[in-house]
Every structure is written in C-alpha cells, then in structure tokens.
C-alpha cells in the first residue's frame, strides 16, 4: 500500500529531515532575499527523480517541483515557505543563526526540511502514484505583499484541483494535529498616517500647532472602532505599533508618523475598520487644523479553508493512524495572518497545524528571539502531508 511504503521510508529519513532543518536554521535569509536558500533547494533536487524543477518561479526565487504519477488523476499542490525574520536569535542553540539579525523564528526552516524529504520520497514512489503532485517552495511569506501573489500570477495554480499547507505551532502540543473549516486565520491591513502641524517653542504654544496632540487624539479615537463600530460577535483588532513623536522636551513637534496593524476575520469587518480609520483622519484635519497623509493597505486576506477539502484532510489524517499522533482536533480561529490565504482564494484547499511545543513545555511564541520547535513535529508534518497526498492519489478525494 502506498501510504505504508511512504511512512516506512519517511521513518528511515527522520534524521535527515532534522539535519536539513538545522542547516537552514543556521543560514536564514529575509523575505525577498533568499538567494542561498533557493540555491540549496535547487541543488537538493539535482539527484531526485522528479519530473521538473522550475526555479525563480514568480520572479522571487520560488521553486516549483512536479511529480507525475504513473496513472492519471487529479493534481494536488503542497506548499512550504522558506523565508526568515529580521530578529536577533537568543535561543542559545548549537545550530543558532549565523546571520546577524536574521532568524528562523516562525518554523519555516522546519516546513522546508520536511517538504524536501517528503518530495524526495514521493518521487521514489511515483510509479504507485495517481495524478500529479506539485510541490511549491514559496519565498517571502512574512513580508507583504507576500511571495504567494507572484507565484499565483506566474501560474503556479494552473490545473491544480486542491492545495494543502501545514504550519508547525510552538504553542500547540506536540503529538496533536489541528484543523478548522471556514474562516480560520485573520486578514491583515496596514496603515501609516503622517500628521503635519507647525512646530514651535514650548513657551509659545499659541504660535504653533502641536502634531503630538493631534496624533494622540487619533490614537485614542481608534480604540473606539472595535468597541463601538464592530459587532461584538465579530473579530477585529487595531494596534498602533509605532508612534514617531520623538523630539526635544521644549520643542513643539511639527510632524508625527503613526503606523498601525489591523486584523479582521471577514471582508465586511475589514471594510468597516478601513472606513472608520479614514473618517478619523478627516476629522483630525478638521479638529486640529493639521494636514494628514494616510496610506492604507489591505494585504493578506482572511484564510478560508474549504469545508469539503478540510473534511477530507481530517478523515485522511485519522485513517492514517500515524503512531506519533495522539489526536486530530478542531482548533478555534487563530489571530495571525498567513499568505497561504491567497492560494485559497483561487482553488479549494486546507491549511492545518501540527503541534510543535518543545519537550520542556517552555513555548516561546512565533517571532520571539527564543522561539524554537520540538523537532518531533517535523516527522509528524511529513507523515501528515503524506497521508493527505496518498489519500488523493488513491482516489479517495471527496
């Protein structure tokens, strides 16, 4: 049976997955700058019996591998991301980042490691496969506009019937797999407001127009969007992450820059928040006499898992009875955003989660300088994705 063969072979390659993960962890690269990582991927596939390897896919170092089964069938895409973050690592791991100020602090090194070995293993059994498997190694998940858009525009989803992705999660227990149907992760928006007033001396405020006062009012007013404009049963958050009002104690600031982050779970809520931010900006000009320039960008959409594909994934995972997996559980909605959502706008698919909490139980959140994963999650991820792929290749798709 295909799945049994895949599982046995993956067990044999478990240490290789960990070895690759640690190498990638030592050599992280930022979004849209993953030159050496892309080369590593390309070199890996040189001796792997895949049918094609397309590099620089989408113009941003993406790598797309095609594995053609011996029998006709559907085309399933499986995706892993490989970029890192602008964070100085503080884990103290023996394989910590060698690149100053850059760290794999979200698990993408693990995603890439398990996917490489899984793709290699699938290629070795392609005579037993039905249909086509498209392996998507995607750059730049972390930085808007995200690497998925370029790959989609370049045709990575052409002919694809379904797409599947996995994220390892340090805050979820190792040995558990989590799924959710429908809206699962928030959409994200970014805004930047520059409020221009008129500077002056602290002793003569009547001769100036204090931009800090205007900006402070704007920040406080924004807090009423979620509390007074959003249905209490909906999800939204508005965060001011940067308020650049630094100056001298006795100088009235002439200009202030504010940057904010918005997370919403529906497109309707996203529209409400944007409308309110724009309205407060206009009110700021009228109330304080400042000139405002607002940039507002809606980037990653809400991640919406297709109900039919998600149910198929759940069934495949449970039927596989992976020894390392204690349970397959439904997760509540998750606050972070993810550019896999772009793929799901184009084709049916499912993005699910593999618990990766360190054995010590001390789980630092994603994007933390001390973030780490339980490497047992890597073999679980490989086997979980293999189970889903094998189910499709056996013609069991629903």
Active site members: 83, 141
Place of tokens 């620089």: 56
Identify whether 145 is preceded by a cis peptide bond (ω within 30 of 0). yes
Inter-residue contact 251 to 199 (CB < 8 Å): yes
- Annotate 117-171 with DSSP letters as a single string: HHHHHHHHTGGG-EEEEEEEEE--SSSTT-HHHHHHHTTTTTT-SEEEEEEEETT
Both tokens assigned to 54: 């397309």
Q: CA angle, 86 as apex, 82 and 91 as ends, to 5°?
A: 85
Dist CA 126 CA 227 (whole Å): 55
Consecutive H or E run containing 355? strand 349-355
Dist CA 59 CA 62 (whole Å): 7
Terminal C-alpha separation, the chain:
20
């Amino acid at each position: 049976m295909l799945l049994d063969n895949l599982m046995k072979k993956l067990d044999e390659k478990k240490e290789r997955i960990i070895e690759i993960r640690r190498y990638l962890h030592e050599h992280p690269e930022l979004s849209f700058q993953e030159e050496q990582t892309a080369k590593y991927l390309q070199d890996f596939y040189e001796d792997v019996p895949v049918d094609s390897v397309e590099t620089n896919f989408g113009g941003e170092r993406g790598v797309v591998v095609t594995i053609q089964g011996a029998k006709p069938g559907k085309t399933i895409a499986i995706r892993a991301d490989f970029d890192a973050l602008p964070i100085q690592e503080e884990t103290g791991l023996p394989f910590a980042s060698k690149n100053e100020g850059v760290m794999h602090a979200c698990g993408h090194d693990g995603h890439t490691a398990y996917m490489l070995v899984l793709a290699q293993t699938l290629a070795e059994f392609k005579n037993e496969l039905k249909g086509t498997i498209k392996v998507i190694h995607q750059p730049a998940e972390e930085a808007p506009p995200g690497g998925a858009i370029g790959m989609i525009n370049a045709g990575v989803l052409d002919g694809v019937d379904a797409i599947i992705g996995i994220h390892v999660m340090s805050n979820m227990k190792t040995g558990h797999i989590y799924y959710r149907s429908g809206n699962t992760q928030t959409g994200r928006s970014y805004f930047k407001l520059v409020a221009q007033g008129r500077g002056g001396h602290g002793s003569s405020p009547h001769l100036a127009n204090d931009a800090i006062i205007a900006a402070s009012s704007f920040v406080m007013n924004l807090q009423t969007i979620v509390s007074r404009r959003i249905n209490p049963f909906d999800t939204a958050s508005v965060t001011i992450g940067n308020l650049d009002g630094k100056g001298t104690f006795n100088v009235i600031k002439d200009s202030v820059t504010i940057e904010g982050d918005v997370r919403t779970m529906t497109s309707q809520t996203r529209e409400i928040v944007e409308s309110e931010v724009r309205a407060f900006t206009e009110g700021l000009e009228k109330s304080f006499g400042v000139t405002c320039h607002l940039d507002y960008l809606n980037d990653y959409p809400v991640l919406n898992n297709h109900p039919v594909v998600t149910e198929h994934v759940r069934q495949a995972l449970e039927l596989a009875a992976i020894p390392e997996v204690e349970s397959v559980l439904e997760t509540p909605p998750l606050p972070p955003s993810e550019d896999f959502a772009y793929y799901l706008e184009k084709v049916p698919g499912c993005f699910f989660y593999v618990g990766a909490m360190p054995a010590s139980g001390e789980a630092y959140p994603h994007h933390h300088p001390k973030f780490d994963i339980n490497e047992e999650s890597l073999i679980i991820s490989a086997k979980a994705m293999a189970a889903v792929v094998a189910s499709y290749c056996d013609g069991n798709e629903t």
